Amino acid sequence: MRDPDALIARAGVRGDPERDQHFLVDDRVLDRLPGHLPDRADRTHVLEIGGGTGALTDRLLGTADRVTVVERDQTLAAFLTEEFADAIEAGRLEVIGGDALEIDLPAFTASVSNLPYGISSEIAFRLLPAGRPLVLTFQREFAERMVAEPGSDEYGRLSVTAGHYADIEIVETVPREAFSPPPAVESAVVRATPKEPEYAVPDDETFMAIVRAVFTQRRKTMRNAIRNTTHISGIDDPEAVIEAAGEELARKRAGNVSPESFARLARIAAEVGTE
């Protein structure tokens, strides 16, 4: 496997915190990342967001049939194209120079990525709805919010929406020193295994809008949060929704409401809360 420090040297670059560039250089972590995919994951076409200098790309080529890397830094994209010319020529690697938030992502069977922290949430919610296994590196605090349970301080919109698409688990924490340059915070590796939710929603858009709305006022009771956020939730008749939801739910705060209860609320809103 290619040495991460040697790759950085050959690329002639340095990570730039101002541009959200922290290269993962710990061989042990890099070697483990592809193995965190579920055992039965389809490795036919693995997507990597933020290829950097290619240390993870190199490991993925060792376990996947085909890899597509998206890298927004054009200098790094050009380096990856040169460094992995043999794999590109063999049809096993494609390097896309572009912003993963703006380009059309290719169809993929799994994704393993050391994500730029500044776009973690946006990228996660581009990937999760695809229903594919994911292994993603985030800031530890962000990862802990993804796996949080109702009633905990970390539980919020992120917990509900991530859990809607997949079983989320933290599979390892990564110290600052594993990166060059070290970020200000610890990181964590998250595995997302796709699942169908155990509850019914009228549609994902309605469900997500209601979750997003009430968590903007998480300190208020659900009764007041529903009343105050109709411009976000799209609910036309909040009083009808509150009445149909019942007093037990209405007096709770969002941080204590389970995903199943949010789904019930979305169904109620679709039935009685829209004109």
Binding residues for S-adenosyl-L-methionine: 22, 24, 50, 71, 99, 114
Residues 6+ apart with CB under 8 A from 28: none
* Cα-based torsion angle of the residue sequence 154, 158, 164, 168 in order, rounded to the nearest 10 degrees: -60
Whether 201 and 259 have beta carbons less than 8 Å apart is answered as no
Q: Which helix (H) or strand (E) holds 67?
A: strand 66-71
* Cα-based torsion angle of the residue sequence 178, 184, 188, 194 in order, rounded to the nearest 10 degrees: -120
Task: For residue 112, give the 3-state DSSP assignment.
Answer: strand
Whether 112 and 56 have beta carbons less than 8 Å apart is answered as yes
Buried b (16+ CB within 10 A) or exposed e, 245-269: beeebbebbbbebebebbbbbbbbb
- Please enumerate, by residue number, every residue annotated as part of a binding site: 22, 24, 50, 71, 99, 114
Whether 238 and 227 have beta carbons less than 8 Å apart is answered as yes
**What is the distance between the alpha carbons of residues 220 and 11, in angstroms, rounded to a whole number?**
52
Six-digit token string for 21? 């560039």
Phi and psi, residue 194, nearest 5°:
-55, 145
